């Protein structure tokens, strides 16, 4: 019987994507194009597929995307893209709030309706939530029968008066 033992070694270096693989990845994630491409479309744009059938192109695109050396690059690039979009979104949000605050306090150049509208929009910000029509009442101690009885009593009182 063979005895197996674990040997510490150097961690495997992550492979580097080729230019074609990198282009394939960018097209799938929608980087540098208007809309993200399907695996097959991205593969056709990244590789020479003139002599390949449609089914072979789909197979190769699927094989490339799910290959063990490609997946970590895809996950990392996707995470970076999401972080970038979130950062941009937060930056835009901050700029909009600052502009609304300036407009709301501009008594010299701004008009009264623009100041009121700015204040209204500032009041609708999620943290302020001043003009929300949503009201949540949490009272789980009453049963539907109890509520029904209370309503009937109130209706009787209103009808008597």
- DSSP assignment, residue 155? H
Q: For the chain, give every domain's residue range.
A: 19-67, 74-123
Walk along the chain (161 residues) and give the pLDDT tens digit of each residue. Answer: 677 777 776 656 667 889 999 999 999 999 888 888 999 999 999 999 999 999 999 999 999 999 988 999 999 999 999 999 999 998 998 999 899 888 888 888 888 898 888 888 888 887 777 777 766 667 667 788 888 898 999 888 888 76
What is the model's pTM?
0.57
Report CA-CA distances (Å) from 119 to 100, 105, 111, 130, 147. 7, 9, 12, 10, 40
Q: Are 82 and 33 in contact (CB under 8 A)?
A: no
Spatial separation of the C-alpha atoms in residues 26 and 45, rounded to whole Å: 11
Alpha-carbon gap, residue 73 to 17, rounded angstroms: 8
């Amino acid at each position: 019987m063979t005895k197996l033992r674990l040997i510490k070694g150097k961690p495997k270096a992550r492979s580097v994507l080729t230019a074609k693989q990198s282009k394939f990845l960018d097209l799938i994630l929608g980087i540098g194009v208007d809309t993200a491409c399907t695996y097959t479309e991205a593969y056709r744009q990244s590789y020479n597929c003139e002599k390949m059938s449609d089914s072979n192109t789909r197979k190769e695109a699927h094989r490339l995307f799910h290959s063990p050396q490609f997946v970590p690059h895809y996950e990392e690039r996707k995470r970076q893209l999401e972080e970038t979009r979130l950062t941009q979104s937060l930056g835009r949000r901050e700029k909009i709030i600052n502009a609304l605050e300036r407009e709301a306090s501009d008594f010299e150049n701004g008009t009264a309706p623009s100041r009121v509208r700015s204040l209204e929009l500032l009041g609708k910000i999620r943290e302020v939530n001043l003009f929300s029509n949503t009201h949540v009442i949490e009272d789980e101690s009453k049963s539907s029968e109890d509520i029904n009885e209370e309503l009937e009593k109130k209706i009787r009182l209103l009808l008597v008066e």
